[in-house]
Amino acid sequence: MVDDTKRARLNMEHLELALQTAGLGEFQYDVPGDFCIVSERMAAITGGSAGYIAADGGRALLPRIHPDDLVETTRHMLAGLELNDRYAVECRAAPQPDQAVVWLRVVAQRIRDEAGEIQGIIGIVEDITTRRLEEQQRHALMAEIDHRVKNVLATVQALAVQTAKRTSSMDGFLQTFLGRLKSMGSANELLTAARWRGAAIDHLVSAELGGLAPGQTRWEGPELFLTPRAANAVSLALHELATNALKYGALSVETGRVDVVWKLTPSGGFSLDWTESGGPVVSPPARTGFGTTLLSQVTGRELNGLTALEFPSTGARARLKAGPAAVVGRPDMVPETPVGRTVETATSPAAPVNLAGARVLIVEDAALLAMELESGLSEAGAVVVGPAYELAEALALLDQHLDAAVLDANLNGLSVGPVADILAERGVPFVFATGYGDAGGAPSGFDAPVIRKPYDVTQVTAAVGDLLSSRK
């Protein structure tokens, strides 16, 4: 049998080990004796001496609290003791020479005897500096995300208004607006992959021209990374130039050519030259559209430089000049050039797709997008299964006949992988419609087409049509 003395000693050893493992300091305040006992671990966290210390009526440990936090922290301590004989507070430790700010969490319990008389206080002290810094970083990140989202929404609103003012039909508006929206999405995808530290200019050019007129476009220049603001400006400018070249310029005929060349300037900025050749005879536009206004007025300002447009008969030319503020150093993370089977935004009206009788499963957690997909697929003649908004809903729909599927990669935080696995096992083709910027191809390594949000629903119907055609 273990006697009470040995048991108490063992319990104290266990408590000491637990406190040491958790990195907690401890203190005691003896009221009748008016002294404090401070552990070595607490002294290491808060500063000051360890051991027996005169309590000064319970005020001896207060100087270990940051002066700016002392009044508020003391108020919470006294309120907690008054309410239920305990308190838990967070505050900064008093400044120490050559030491960063230390955040503390202090939890204490008042001790009373059988008669209810106060005998003292025991407490523990924890260094929570790391947690507080992480919280501050999260708050700063959320504020930055909020700022960026509002900026994006404001930009999208401005694009929609300006595009609507200069188009005379709904079809024309949708085609032009969705193209510009896709351009913004491509730039943001590249920026996200680099943690918003910058986007490579060759990736921006590749995203805009890589899928257009194979063999008719060429681009070259040194490795150069742009700020988020400059990247979006360049991406939109390239989109406007490419759209014009496809409709009226060099890319509207098989003999035409577009060359894009950029270089650093002595000031630390860069210049980018867009040159068209081999196309129809060019003349200056009869009227100024939003694309021209964007290029001539907005792009230059966004780049802290200027934009020059020329329309010689041999082909349109544009020069973008940017100041040094538009350029950043190479980010720590740089995405590879996209190599997946990504379905690009159509630049001209797509031919109608006939999906008559095909049973197509829709898995999409955004209700409005699911409605748009359902409408577009139904108009193409498909029989829509779903939509499924949750992973469990999607799995429950797999026990019926399916010809194809459209899958959102993430369903309210859950991967759609289990659904894709079952479809792949059964030989049912599917396309991913996702907002994730995985430039390496389809999510989870599946051999499937990927449509990046924001997209035009005609892209989805065309992709599903291609899937079904390939099975015949």
pLDDT in tens, 283-326: 887 776 666 777 877 788 888 888 998 999 999 999 999 999 98
* Span 104-153, pLDDT tens digits: 999 999 999 999 999 999 999 999 999 998 888 887 767 656 655 665 56
**Minimum mean pLDDT range among 45-59, 181-195, 323-337:** 181-195
What pLDDT does 150 receive? 62
Q: How many CB atoms lie within 10 A of CB 93?
A: 22
The amino acid present at 465, given as its one-letter code, is G
Cβ atoms of residues 406 and 362 within 8 Å: yes
CA–CA gap between residue 48 and residue 310 (Å, rounded)? 74
Contact indicator for 258, 217 with CB cutoff of 8 Å: yes
Q: Is the pLDDT of residue 263 over 70?
A: yes
**What pLDDT score was predicted for residue 338?**
46
Residue type, 231: A
Q: Higher pLDDT residue, 248 or 323? A: 323
Q: Does domain 135-330 have CATH number 3.20.20.70?
A: no
- Element at 29 (helix H, strand E): strand 25-30
Instruction: Name the range with the highest mean pLDDT among 10-14, 88-92, 411-415.
Output: 88-92
User: How confident is the model at residue 336, as a pLDDT?
Assistant: 58
Name the amino acid, one letter, at 271: S
Q: Tokens for 468, please give them.
A: 């079904």
pLDDT in tens, 150-170: 655 655 665 676 667 656 777
Residue 43: what pLDDT? 92
How confident is the model at residue 28, as a pLDDT?
92
Query: If you ran DSSP here, which 8-state letter would residue 298 be given?
Result: I
Q: What is the pLDDT of residues 207-245, one digit of tens each?
A: 777 766 667 889 899 988 888 888 888 888 888 888 888
Domain definitions of the chain by residue range: 4-127, 135-330, 359-471
> In sequence order, which ranges of 259-304 are alpha helices (DSSP H)?
290-293, 300-302
Tokens of 143: 């504020």
How confident is the model at residue 343, as a pLDDT?
43
Q: How far apart are CA 258 and CA 318, in angstroms?
A: 11
For residue 394, the model assigns a pLDDT of 92
In which band, very low, low, confident or very high, does the pLDDT at 345 lie, cut at 50, 70 and 90? very low
| DSSP label of 65 | B
Residue scoring higher pLDDT (196 or 62) = 62
Q: What is the DSSP letter of 299?
A: I
For residue 375, pLDDT beyond 60: yes
Q: Provide CB contacts within 8 A for 309, sequence distance 6+.
A: 292, 295, 296, 316, 317, 318
pLDDT at 175: 67
Rounded to whole angstroms, how far apart are CA atoms 346 and 461? 12
Report the alpha-carbon distance of residue 321 to residue 308 in Å, rounded. Answer: 8
Mean pLDDT over the full length of the chain: 81
SS3 track for 304-325: CCEEEEECCCCCCEEEEEECHH
Radius of gyration, CA atoms only, the chain: 33
Fold of 4-127: Beta-Lactamase (3.30.450)
Quickly count helices (H) and strands (E) in the chain: 13, 22
Task: State how beta strands 359-363 and 404-407 pair.
Answer: parallel
The whole-number average pLDDT for the span 415-434 is 90
What pLDDT, on a 0 to 100 scale, did the predictor assign at position 221? Answer: 92
Query: Which is higher by pLDDT, 259 or 439?
Result: 259
Whether 302 contacts 258, CB under 8 Å? no
Q: Return the CATH fold of 359-471.
A: Rossmann fold (3.40.50)
Q: Which of 107-111, 183-187, 334-338, 432-436 has the highest mean pLDDT?
A: 107-111
Q: Strand locations in 150-256, DSSP E?
A: 199-200, 217-220, 225-226
Task: Give CA 384 to chain center in angstroms.
Answer: 31
Q: Which residues fall within 8 angstroms of residue 89, CB to CB, at 6 or more apart?
A: 73, 76, 77, 80, 105, 106
- Cα angle 85, 87, 93 (rounded to 5 degrees) comes to 140
Phi, psi of 248 (to 5 degrees): -125, -15
Strand order from edge to edge, sheet including 342-343: 342-343, 450-452, 430-434, 404-407, 359-363, 383-388
What does the pLDDT read at residue 351?
58
Mind listing the pLDDT tens digit for each residue in 8-35?
454 545 556 556 666 788 999 999 999 9
Is the pLDDT reported for residue 85 higher than 80?
A: yes
**pLDDT of 296:** 77
Lowest model confidence (mean pLDDT) among 10-19, 157-166, 265-274, 358-367: 10-19
With H, G, I as helix, E, B as strand and everything else as coil, classify residue 111. Answer: strand
In the predicted structure, residue 342 carries a pLDDT above the cut 60: no
Cβ–Cβ under 8 Å, residues 224 and 328: no
The Cα–Cα gap between 342 and 11 comes to: 64
Mapping DSSP to helix (H, G, I), strand (E, B) and coil, where does residue 247 land?
Answer: helix
pLDDT above 60: residue 172: yes
DSSP 93: B
Q: Using the 8-state DSSP alphabet, how is residue 26 labeled?
A: E
pLDDT at position 187 over 60:
no
CA distance 203 to 224: 10
